[in-house]
Chain A
Amino acid sequence: MSKPNPSLGVPIAGKVNLEAETSSSAVSAAKARKRHTMQIFEDIPKRSFGITATISFLVMIGIWSILSYGQLVNPIFLPTPDKVFTTMIKLLGTSDYWNHIGISIFRVSAGFMLACLVAIPIGLFAGTYRFGEAFIEPPMEFIRYMPAVAFIPLIMVWAGIGESAKILLIFTGCFFQLVLMVASDTRLVSKDLVQASFTLGASRWQAIQTVIIPAVQPRLLNTLRLMLGWAWTYLVVAELVAVNSGLGYAIMKAQRFLNTEQIFVGIIVIGLLGLISDRIFAFLNRRLYPWA
Chain B
Amino acid sequence: MSEAIGVAGVEAGQGSITIRGIGKTYRTGKTNFRALGNIDLDIGANEFVTILGPSGCGKSTLLRIVAGLEESNEGVINVDGDTVVGPGADRGMVFQGYTLFPWLTVRQNIEYGPKLKGVSILDRRAISNRYLRITRLESFASRFPKQLSGGMKQRVAIARALANGPKVLLMDEPFGALDAQTKLEMQEALLEVWEREKTTVLFITHDIDEAIFLSQRIVVMGAGPGHIVREFPVTLPAERTSDVREHPDFLKLRREIAALLKHKEE
Residues of A within 8 A of B (CB): 190, 192-193, 195-202, 206, 210-211, 214-215, 217, 289-292
How many Å from the CB of A230 to the closest CB on chain B? 28
Q: What is the bound-complex CA distance between A198 and B93, given in angstroms?
A: 10
* B117 interface neighbour in A195, A201, A289, A292, Cβ under 8 Å: A201
Q: What is the bound-complex CA distance between A196 and B86, given in angstroms?
A: 13
How many Å from the CB of B170 to the closest CB on chain A? 8
- Minimal Cβ-Cβ distance residue in B for A195: B69
Q: What is the bound-complex CA distance between A178 and B86, given in angstroms?
A: 34
Contact between chains at B99 and A210 (CB < 8 Å):
no
* CB interface residues, B 93-130, toward A, < 8 Å: 93, 95, 97, 99, 101-104, 112-113, 116-117
Contact between chains at B103 and A201 (CB < 8 Å):
no
Q: What is the bound-complex CA distance between A214 and B180, given in angstroms?
A: 34
Query: Beyond A193-B101, A215-B103, A291-B145, is A198–B116 a contact (Cβ under 8 Å)?
Result: no
With a 10 A CB-CB cut-off, give which of A193, A196, A215 has the most chain B CB atoms: A196
How many Å from the CB of A139 to the closest CB on chain B? 29
Contact between chains at A200 and B164 (CB < 8 Å):
yes
Q: What is the bound-complex CA distance between A290 and B102, given in angstroms?
A: 10
SS of A interface (majority): helix
- Minimal Cβ-Cβ distance residue in A for B90: A201
Query: Beyond A195-B69, A195-B87, A215-B103, is A291–B112 a contact (Cβ under 8 Å)?
Result: no
Contacts of A198 in B (CB 8 A): 68-69, 86-88
How many Å from the CB of B242 to the closest CB on chain A? 30
11 additional A-B residue pairs with CB within 8 Å, beyond A198-B69, A201-B88: A193-B99, A197-B112, A199-B93, A200-B116, A200-B160, A200-B164, A202-B116, A210-B112, A210-B116, A289-B103, A290-B144
Q: What is the bound-complex CA distance between A210 and B117, given in angstroms?
A: 13
Contacts of B202 in A (CB 8 A): none
Query: Beyond A210-B112, A290-B144, is A199–B91 a contact (Cβ under 8 Å)?
Result: yes
Q: What is the bound-complex CA distance between A211 and B99, given in angstroms?
A: 11
Contact between chains at B101 and A201 (CB < 8 Å):
no
Contact between chains at B102 and A200 (CB < 8 Å):
no
- Minimal Cβ-Cβ distance residue in B for A198: B87
Q: What is the bound-complex CA distance between A202 and B92, given in angstroms?
A: 12
How many Å from the CB of B1 to the closest CB on chain A? 12
